[in-house]
Structure 1
């Protein structure tokens, strides 16, 4: 009897499978209650995009969310900072206060902001909802405020280590979550990795993985950067990356250590 294979698993499915096996907590992945999320949304005056909202509800509290790059979570009163959902304009507000102190001089972008009423700050930079950060704080990932009404909007990051310059990170929240959680999963868990095409096909064949199905794209924007197959019987995850500029095709195989 062949084991069950699930191809192109979602970020939620990935975390729900991986948390009990690779997480730092105990048991399955858990999320935030509808009450907590709704309270945050009411206090912030927004509604989270469906893709991000669903992720928070399903597995927002999973330990793997902080294994490397760290998630920001909803606060019932929408208080900013301290690993909570925070808008980039909140950081700018803080800078305005800090640089108002004696001896502190505005840097150019902040000087432009200070000369404008808040409703015109968009002339200098857009406002982003920050929901994840690099493990050393080198960058934040955010969704442009105007895109929050989209179900699965693109994700940006501050590419100059400030709150004024932003560049595309991912074409959708789901592709971002998949990318980040695969990175987090690899932190401290070392998958078997293959780059030789013959060896890749051999490993897939031994695992009865259908290569054609494995190469299918994810159904969301940006879903061609990698492909997955989860063998639920052997608890083996196959992650295939197509050849890209400066990088050969690869296969990573995640499997929990066997108990002695």
Structure 2
């Protein structure tokens, strides 16, 4: 038995906690999680009342990996809006909320290194509307889970240019964010969801389209890879500018 180490006492082993929580905001059950910027909770959910609002999240320990965030919301039929979704200051993506009164869902991913900076997190929603023109966004629920392969992952890259990448991505019948690499390295970018009638006509979520805007211009001839967070590439990826 000499030389065999007990894995429990191995200092290199880091304890992690599973992420599995659901928060609902259509009753007072999780109302205490809502920070500033929210209106009165109603039977369907809680409306955004300010330009910026946030939700307090907590984790039992360090996450095993990236964390999947599913947001269910309601568009209240007012003027369309674009919400910037951030976690502890890191932008996860921008969600276009149309002016039609309907329930909507979208999937984002919180990177592991961002989750593990602290066991307390602030999920922030920032509206592009002015304070005098309230957002049409209302929060219904949040689901947070350890990232895992999703059924029905489908996506397509329509176009790659020096200043934008467009396409669509769906996982489990919900529009999804994606990972972008340039010549094998992460490409800093802004993700914005896009509504597309052609997707709805094909039986896909209408808002599953995306536009990726690189923070710096992509050089000519660069190889662009667009993937789901589990590494599965979208059709027509890689593409070249």
TM superposition score normalised by structure 2? 0.23
TM superposition score normalised by structure 1? 0.22
Higher gyration radius (CA): 1
Q: When you count strand as a share of all residues, which structure comes out higher?
A: 2
